[in-house]
Amino acid sequence: MPTTSEKNLQAEYTATYSPEDNKLRLYSLHRLDTETYSRLKAAGFKWAPKQQLFVAPMWTPGRYDLLVELCGEVGDEDTSLVERQQERADRFEGYSENRLQDAHAAKAAVDAIADHIPFGQPILVGHHSERHARKHAQKIENGMRKAVKMWETSQYWKDRAVGALCHAQYKESPRVRANRIRTIEADRRKATRERDEFRARFNSWLNPTVPFNLSSAMAITAGSYSAFKFPLDRYPREAPKSQYEGEMSLYRALEEGIITPRQARNLHVPVLVRTIKNRERWIAHYENRLIYERAMLEEQGASDLLKPKERPKQLPLLNYRQPEGFMIENIYRKGESSLYPQVEMTKAEFAKIYQDYKGTRIVENSHRVRFAVLQNHKRAIIFLTDSKVHEKPEPVVKPEPKPLAIAMQINSSPDYPTRERTQFDDMKNTLKNGGVQIVSAPQLFPTPPELARRMAREAGILAGRRILEPSAGTGNLVSAAINAASGADCCRIVAVEINAALVGELRNMRDKTLYANGHNFEIKHADFLDCNGDLLKFDRIIMNPPFENGADIKHIKHAMSFLKEGGRLVALCANGPRQRDQLKPIAEESGGFWEDLPAGTFKNAGTNVNTALLVIEN
């Protein structure tokens, strides 16, 4: 009867066993004391913090006995494998969601710094924004790396969640269960053989018909794995007997004369009794598992999977003459065949050939013939002259192999869902390509996004119109034009840019835009002032030309020559005396307008130059 302290201890602990995964679990209401924790750890139990329990990787008699000692009994696990894996998947989904929130937070921080700098836009050496851009470049890249890392961690936990459910489905599948039953049966056969071997040794010690002497004792202990220590104070012996006191087998101790046959029996019999009981417990455990697994397989309606597989029928062995030889398929290289000559001999001569040098070979997928390796490594087909002669059968056509797709469907595993491309993938590619690039572009002032959207509205981007951006730069005006035409079927854009690095970025933007919206987008790497009739005419021109030394006047007047009748040009320019004298009258006389923009419009682009917006009608 358990004492009061033992009953209180058992009330604190609950132990369960699950036949689905063959694991033992211990639930505790309080933190374990040091001694109990050490015993559990030594027995192979591990603490599962998320489940708040101790779990052993598999059932063993020692672990089971320890739980019985602590809890009084071991009950059945209430939750199934699928339920536990679902809980695990839910935890992984929570981890994934947390990391995804961190990724979006890091991305928002990057966007706050680089609101006007699209991913991949270069630092413009010599430009007013260079100092500001270099200051924030490292912050932007660090934030991008953090966002990508959090996003990848989120995807990792998401995949782990899917994997947990797929694992549960895999373990519960009938074919896997049938294979598990065969493994348990093999383990039971092994445990039965070992029990019978130990039982035979035990019976030999107690068999009165066997003479009890050194020879019989050594025969019984031969091959026994039991090892013992033989200290001199308990097993005194004098030289020339061995003075070794460490572990050794009973067989060697008998051989060295350290112990007598009676001492060997007294040492060996208790070990055999314990081992036999241990194997019997294992056998009982395997039988209980087999009862459970077979019942589950029968419930799944897949008991036929346990039926032994039919062995392929052996093709008939025939004996006939074929002087021209035999074309035999190479058993080591499929698709290759070799011509084997035929050699005649008697049954007696064939029997004298060493077993490893003869056999059979399949001919035309319909029958077998005798084969042998003769002197000088000559390979030949054998015709027995003193044996019955058969008729050669007709060839049999091999069945067509199953298509790979069908074969994969038969033994398919649960498919992982395909993942769509996200902004974090683009961010990752940007980092792989070097993050913020460094390019010399001293005359570039990127158009603020809000102003670019207004210019696109003023231009009136419509379906089928040809649009020119003669100083494309980082593509802000091009993006605004594309977005303005998103409701239309298409618009045809021609972007001219002199800087090679910016041309590359425009091409990247074009590839993404074409994939997303289907716009025609042509990029020309050239100086716009050198372009003439090769660009043809345009319905709309939208531009932000360079301002230095009146270059904006030259660019806008040159762009007017590309405008179709009824077309419209929307441009930015410096709000200076020369621009007012030369460009403002043109805009107002054409039916367009001139508008002074607020001071600081291009502050974020790195300059405080006064600017104006003008519209020219043709």
CA distances from 423 to 103, 113, 119, 121 (A): 11, 17, 10, 16
Mark whether 280 and 222 lie in a shared domain.
yes
**Is there a single domain that holds both residue 544 and residue 449?**
yes
Q: Could you tell me if 29 and 70 are in contact, meaning their C-beta atoms sit under 8 angstroms apart? A: no
What pLDDT score does 510 carry? 78
Cis bond upstream, residue 316 (ω within 30): no
Task: Give the three-state DSSP class for 441.
Answer: coil
Phi and psi angles of residue 400, each rounded to the nearest 5 degrees, phi first? -65, 135
115-124, 285-294, 549-558, 594-603: segment of lowest average pLDDT: 115-124
Q: Is 157 contained in some domain?
A: yes
Reported confidence tier of residue 412, pLDDT bands at 50, 70, 90: very low
- Assess whether 501 and 611 both reside in one domain: yes
Is there a single domain that holds both residue 287 and residue 363?
Answer: no
In the predicted structure, residue 125 carries a pLDDT above the cut 80: no
- Could you list the beta-strand ranges (E) of 208-260: 227-229, 247-249
pLDDT at 127 over 80: no
Task: Give the mean model confidence (pLDDT) for residues 471-495.
Answer: 79
- Mean pLDDT taken over the chain: 84
Instruction: Specify if 145 maps to a domain.
Output: yes
pLDDT digits (tens, 9 = 90+) for 440-463: 455 667 888 889 999 999 998 776
Q: Is residue 402 part of a domain?
A: no
In a domain, residue 397? The reply is no
Same structural domain for residues 291 and 368? Answer: no
Q: Give me the half-sphere count of Cα atoms (radius 13 Å) on the Cβ side of residue 100.
A: 13
User: Which residue stretches of 173-260 are H helix?
Assistant: 174-206, 214-221, 250-255
In angstroms, the CA 377 to CA 315 distance is 27
Residue type, 527: D
pLDDT above 70 covers a percentage of the chain that reads 86
Q: Are residues 496 and 598 in the same domain?
A: yes
364 and 235 within one domain: no
Determine, yes or no, domain membership for 518: yes
Instruction: Indicate the range of 226-240, 412-426, 597-611 predicted with least confidence.
Output: 412-426
Domain of 138, in residue numbers: 84-172
Strand ranges, E, within 61-197: 74-76, 123-125
Q: Which residues contact 541 (CB under 8 A, 6 or more apart)?
A: 459, 467, 468, 469, 470, 559, 562, 563, 567, 568, 569, 570, 571
Based on the domain organization, do 597 and 518 belong to the same domain?
yes
Q: Does 430 reside within a domain?
A: no
CA distance 561 to 110: 42
For the stretch 516-528, pLDDT in tens is 454 578 899 999 9
Neighbours of 354 (CB within 10 A): 8
Given 119, 137, 172, the domain boundary residue is 172
Asked if residue 489 and residue 357 are part of one domain, the reply reads no
Dihedral sign (CA 364, 370, 373, 378): negative
The answer to whether residue 193 is domain-embedded is yes
Q: Long-range pairs for 480-485 at CB < 8 Å and ≥24 separation?
A: 480/447, 480/449, 480/452, 480/453, 480/455, 480/456, 480/542, 481/456, 481/540, 481/542, 482/513, 482/517, 482/519, 482/521, 483/453, 483/456, 484/453, 484/456, 484/457, 484/459, 485/461, 485/519
Q: Give the model's confidence band at 612: pLDDT under 50 very low, under 70 low, under 90 confident, else very high.
A: very high
What six digits make up the tokens of 32?
A: 């374990």
Say whether both 337 and 243 belong to one domain. no
Residues 459 and 516 in one domain: yes
593/585 Cα distance (integer angstroms):
9
Structure pTM?
0.56
Separation CA 12–CA 27 (nearest Å): 8
Are both 66 and 112 inside the same structural domain? no
SS3 for 125?
A: strand
Lowest mean pLDDT among 243-257, 264-278, 280-294, 451-465: 451-465
Question: For residues 345 and 113, which has the higher predicted lDDT (pLDDT)?
Answer: 345
Q: How many helices (H) and strands (E) does the chain have?
A: 18, 22
Count other Cβ atoms within 10 Å, centred on residue 436.
Answer: 21
Domain count, the chain: 5
Out of 345, 368, 384, pick the residue that ends a domain.
384
What is the distance between the alpha carbons of residues 31 and 451, in angstroms, rounded to a whole number? Answer: 65
Residue 484 lies in a domain: yes
Residue 129's CB is within 10 A of a number of other CB atoms, namely 20
Domain ends where: 384, 409, 433? 384
pLDDT, tens digit (0-9, with 9 covering 90-100), for 17-47? 998 889 999 999 889 999 999 999 999 999 9
Q: Which residue has the higher pLDDT, 139 or 524?
A: 524
Which amino acid belongs to residue 68?
Answer: V
Token pair for 16: 């369960």
Q: Which helix (H) or strand (E) holds 423?
A: helix 423-432
The confidence score (pLDDT) of residue 476 equals 87
Token pair in block for residue 585: 């009258």
Higher pLDDT, residue 155 or 233: 233
Question: What pLDDT, on the 0 to 100 scale, is given for residue 44?
Answer: 95
